Structure 1
Amino acid sequence: MNIQEYIQSGVIESYVLGLASEEEAAELLHLARLHPAVKQALTHAELAFEQQALATAETPAAGLQQQLLQQLQHSFEPAPGTAIKAPDATSSSLHTLPAAGSNNRWKYLAAASVILLVVSACLNFYFYSGYQQANKKYESLLEEQNTLTASINVYKARLEESTTLTRVLDDTAITVVKMPGVPGKETTHATVYWNSQSKDVYLSASQLPAVPAGKQYQLWAIVNGKPVDAGVINSCEAGICKMKNIPSAEAFAITLEQTGGSPVPTLTALYVMGKV
């Protein structure tokens, strides 16, 4: 017999788990007495399974632990009316008792390990399912919070724009300059609110068409017949924008320029114009 192949056949593991037949157990114990390698492999397997059982064991609930102990106790009790025979004090009996006791001990440990593993798996599945449900609920609440926060920010921005516009319109120093569309662009319209005292300029440009890619609207003040840059228009389609201060002006106009603005207006891209 090839001892190495026998060790790797799985018989030792089956014996330690209590799954080996009586013939296999008897043969293993016989070979363990004859071959140190088999005995060493058996000892190693017993220690490995014991360490695995201890490492993966989890303390079950108090009620479940008591129930398992009662079931194990009933399993070891003899049937009613069955007499317990004392072992014979023969040399052959004394020789075989340690092996049988060792076999039974590992059977009980293996059974307890399996039970604890099953209980642990059930508890892990239960808690993992609860974690998944809680995580989904958290993600849903987080999404609702983000949506609500976005809505609040929108309303806050609109309120600020409305407050700014109200403050600008209530100022007695404000001059309202309406800028209708030039010929060919009659549907466009914008309004400048110019404070003659503070020289602040505000622009409402909600009636201008959408800006093409790479383009940007630019406000001009006509001063002594010459255009003066009053600033490019940034994200004020739905409200009012603060532009550059203008000390004096005869008129205001808006052209469509390249992104970033231009030092001089492109007259062919003139959209609206109005006199002060």
Structure 2
Amino acid sequence: MTEKIKIFLDTDLLEKYLLGDTTTTETLQVERYIAMYPEVQKTYIELQDNLEAYAKLHSLKAPEGLKESILYKIRQQKRGASKFFKYAIAASFAALVFAGSSYFFYNQNKNLQEENTIVTNKIKDLEMDMKVQLEDIRNQYIVLNNPNTKRYSVRGNQKAQELKAVAYVNPVKKLSYINVSNLPQLPEDKCFQMWAEVNGEMVNLGIIKDIDDKEKLWALPYADNAVGYITIEQQGGNATPTVQNIVANINY
């Protein structure tokens, strides 16, 4: 058992997951570990069996007449909701008539304000984009030329044997980049997507599109003992990684 799995099992995330008490981030992490690591899957099944046995042991029979009482209250609530709905329709219609009479005059002034705001925001966005691009170029230069930078070769698994990449990590400047130099061909409805697991949270790094640029560097979030992944997803990408479609692990 690796140290990473032992640390995970020492937490109470599996128990919280069984009780439906995990956050969205924690749920994704637990499901990913269950799918990827047999030790975690075995522990999860044991906890599930134990919880089911405990629930059966302490289950109580519902009181007589409980079902009829609940159905009666539901019917009463529906009658009250029906009356409220009729009054709400009348009030909404009156509000729409009033809003329509004043909308035209308000809209003329608002359009002028919006146009001025759009122009101002576009200028700010261009300035910010340029600042971000210059910062990224500076960081790439540091990573490629600093003697403290470490290189890690990345190879694809059986699903993507032609995949080749190199990760560059500088622990002094706390910068990480990866250069994907070769990718196998995929069907038109599939794409490669890159991820990074940082402090237990999965970060979407985007779809790998411009593979023709062999010199392109992709920024990786820096963290101690961070792990990156490349997966095959449906064209357009996915909000969460498809664990069974992981084709490369990037330990940096």
- TM class by shorter-chain length? 0.3 to 0.5
| TM-score w.r.t. length of structure 1 | 0.34
| TM-score w.r.t. length of structure 2 | 0.37
